[in-house]
Chain A
């Protein structure tokens, strides 16, 4: 485990570089194949609307995977993530156009814990709405 960030160099409130992640219908088809989650609400507009959704929505696990990239890019080694949890509060609605949707993720150090670990709180929004709640990771630093 080789974190790029030293425990001594961060304080409560330290912000991680924020990122914006694009998501289109093609992204969702690719993620469905890679993850094995072929639920039609993630690629079939007719089906999604029939079950009461506004349109096709991204896999919650896709959004969860994007959000943690803010942490893994910051710390360098993905194995530095010791814990990671989220609540799926709102769906990321993905229209069938060239733009698709974007997921905006910011994060900051919320607490310094024992054993060179910190708690990072993440905020993920799409179209101005918070799409993940209670999104937290415990990260082991150098």
Chain B
């Protein structure tokens, strides 16, 4: 069943702050096999002009996707999460995420479409630091595949 269009534009309350740790960044960089020293060596990061180690570009998805859980699990919206696949992902960075950041995410439903029985949901996550400065915006497109019997 098509999702309720009246949810377009709905913004959810900001998440509690997520504190970015140096070791979490290291763990992520190792998991993707990326040995760029800017991710693990504070001196190397400083040589590039950063106050501390920075996170790889896609690191913030772990935080924004968890925040998007508010939307996808909203019982009023009624998305069938068991049928959801990740369609598109985009980021626009004001600055890199770095160790010591305390980040909050505010999720907004940007669009809801229905195509061939599939529900397509665009969620925008605005990520801010503790000072209220904008760090990155993440756009996530989720596709809930149509049920066969529909």
Contact partners of A35 in chain B: CB under 8 A:
28, 31, 61-62
Query: Which of A2, A27, A31, A69 is the one whose CB lies under 8 Å from B49?
Result: A2
- From B29, which residue of chain A is reached at the shortest CB distance? A34
Contact with B along A1-28 (1 / 0, CB 8 A): 1100000000000000000010000010
- Tally of A interface residues using CB under 8 Å: 34
Q: Most chain-A CB neighbours within 10 Å: which of B32, B36, B38, B56?
A: B32
Give the interface segment out of B3-11, B81-89, B102-110, B116-124.
B81-89
Contact partners of A30 in chain B: CB under 8 A:
30-31
Q: Contact at B95–A86, with CB atoms within 8 Å? A: no
Count of CB-CB pairs between chains A and B under 8 Å: 103
A62 to B31, CA, bound (A): 9
Contact partners of A87 in chain B: CB under 8 A:
87-88
Contact partners of B86 in chain A: CB under 8 A:
60-61, 88
Q: Is B58 an interface residue (CB 8 A)?
A: yes
Give the interface segment out of A73-81, A92-100, A106-114, A119-127.
A73-81
A131 to B28, CA, bound (A): 22
A92 to B82, CA, bound (A): 20
- From A133, which residue of chain B is reached at the shortest CB distance? B88
Which 7 pairs, one residue from A and one from B, show the smallest C-beta to C-beta distance? A85-B90, A34-B31, A79-B96, A65-B32, A65-B58, A31-B31, A34-B28
Q: Is A48 an interface residue (CB 8 A)?
A: no
Q: Is B113 an interface residue (CB 8 A)?
A: no
- From B26, which residue of chain A is reached at the shortest CB distance? A34
Contact partners of B54 in chain A: CB under 8 A:
78-79
A84 to B57, CA, bound (A): 8
Contact partners of A2 in chain B: CB under 8 A:
47-49
A72 to B95, CA, bound (A): 14
Q: Contact at B57–A68, with CB atoms within 8 Å? A: yes
Q: Contact at B28–A85, with CB atoms within 8 Å? A: no
Contact partners of A62 in chain B: CB under 8 A:
32
